[in-house]
Amino acid sequence: MPAFAYKARKADGNVVHGVVEAEEQKIAVDRLRLQKFVVLEISEKTSSLLDPLLALLKRKGSVGSKDLVIFSRQLSTLVSAGVPIVQGLSILESQADNPAFKEVLGLVRGDIEGGLSISDALKKHPDAFPELYTAMVKAGELGGILDAILERLTSYLENSEALRAKVKSAMMYPIIVLTICASVTVFLMVFVIPTFKAIFAGFGAELPLITQLFIDLSDIMKKYFPLIIASPWLGYKGFQKFYKTPYGQHWCDGKALNLPVFGPILKKVAVAKFTRTLGTLVKSGVPIMQALETVAATAGNVVISDVIFATRESIREGGRLSDPLKKSGIFPNMVTSMIAVGEETGSLDVMLAKIADFYDMEVDAAVKGLTSLIEPLVIVVMGLVIGTIVVAMFMPMFGLGELAGNLDK
């Protein structure tokens, strides 16, 4: 969208400079006039090769989910108290600790003052306000229940954040321990075993097979040490590139749902997220077709998204919500049965909320069980790896007397 640099006088007489985005210059002038600016000069801003670099330097970080939760809770309170939306945004902008979010709120406030609806103003900043957020705000605007919608949004975001935190906490411990284990193993193989190799070379005797294998592996790792250090980063970048392809996304997301231990937990997380999001949208008055489209876009798993899109098409053709979900094999029978009952009784949003609450508890229990299982398992694996290396290096020492006798002869 074109940008126009302007010089204008505010209502208090101060002269300000700035940039406004608009389809054409006339629209830009109209937006400035709505903000009670007297336009003195305005011209289209020409782009230069330095603009991407300047934009990069101006970035002040990103907007996190916690910022959005706090903002929603505070804005809901202000709107419920009868504070006008522009004034409320101005208050929250001044209180924002995150510089990036403060900047976004200032732009949103300016767009609303310029005549845009709240949802359209939020939609211009997808990195801060996801599609689900703007869809619910739009439903709140149309229904005149913005305060209630913001309250539901806050509850939804808090539940989603709690669910995400549970999964992260379950994964953090094994990742840290495995990283330490890998680092210690590489250190022993590259820096410690070569010292033993020099000692064993003076004995002039054949080494045990396992010791010789570790020494040969140490030679290889020492030779390619820079590549070993860079391999985690190269692997991560390679995975990112592969995952960005349509085939890579489908393959990875499908395999993730079928993993031996983590797959069932990921399915429970997917069910909890789907039911919570769809229930919140339906309860907020968002049409079912639009709600399913929003849920599919925010599912976080391509396989789940495909199922939701197939469900949407089924409903478009006159089918029911529960049938395609049952055919997918991802959603358990209990879930699809409760959704079917909700459809028949006209209480779909209530049923979806009950399912989400149940699966939140299921995820919590599964995460605790996984954590209690992984902790000793990881410690045992780390002990076996490092212990095997230590034993392999000290095995020749057990026959040190015999080797020394051979040297005397």
> For 89-158, what is the HEC assignment?
HHHHHHHCCCHHHHHHHHHHHHHHHCCCCHHHHHHCCCCCCCHHHHHHHHHHHHHCCHHHHHHHHHHHHH
Q: Which of 235, 308, 309, 239 is nearest to 271 (CA)?
A: 308
End-to-end CA distance of the chain: 89
| pLDDT at 149 > cutoff 60 | yes
- Partners of 42 in beta bridges: 6
- Most confidently modeled of 162-166, 281-285, 355-359? 355-359
pLDDT band, very low/low/confident/very high, at 387 (cuts 50, 70, 90)? confident
pLDDT of residue 405: 53
pLDDT band, very low/low/confident/very high, at 400 (cuts 50, 70, 90)? low
Q: How far apart are CA 367 and CA 362, in angstroms?
A: 8
Ranges of H-type helices in 35-64:
51-58
Provide mean pLDDT across the span 157-172: 75
Residue with tokens 């709690």: 162
Q: What angle do the packed helices 262-283 and 288-297 form, to 10 degrees? A: 150
Residue with tokens 């996984």: 370
Q: How far apart are CA 101 and CA 105, in angstroms?
A: 6
pLDDT band, very low/low/confident/very high, at 83 (cuts 50, 70, 90)? confident
- Partners of 39 in beta bridges: 8
| pLDDT at 52 > cutoff 70 | no
| CA angle (101, 297, 118) in 5-degree steps | 45
- 48 CB-near residues (< 8 Å, 6+ apart): none
- 351 CB-near residues (< 8 Å, 6+ apart): 279, 338, 339, 341, 342
| pLDDT at 313 > cutoff 70 | yes
Containing 389, the helix (H) or strand (E) segment is helix 348-398
- 20 CB-near residues (< 8 Å, 6+ apart): 3, 4, 6, 28, 31, 32, 114
Residue 200, Cα to own-chain centre: how many angstroms? 51
Q: How far apart are CA 200 and CA 147, in angstroms?
A: 77
Q: How far apart are CA 262 and CA 363, in angstroms?
A: 11
| pLDDT at 63 > cutoff 80 | no
Give yes or no for a contact between 107 and 124, defined as CB atoms under 8 angstroms apart: yes
Q: How far apart are CA 110 and CA 121, in angstroms?
A: 9
Q: Which of 114, 125, 151 is nearest to 136 (CA)?
A: 151
pLDDT band, very low/low/confident/very high, at 54 (cuts 50, 70, 90)? very low
pLDDT of residue 49: 43
- CA-CA-CA-CA torsion sign (194, 195, 196, 197): positive
| pLDDT at 147 > cutoff 70 | yes
| pLDDT at 50 > cutoff 80 | no
Q: Which of 346, 207, 217, 209 is nearest to 288 (CA)?
A: 346
pLDDT band, very low/low/confident/very high, at 127 (cuts 50, 70, 90)? confident
Q: Nearest 10 degrees: CA dihedral of 245, 247, 249, 255?
A: -150
Main-chain phi, psi angles of 330, to 5 degrees: -90, -40
Q: How far apart are CA 298 and CA 302, in angstroms?
A: 10
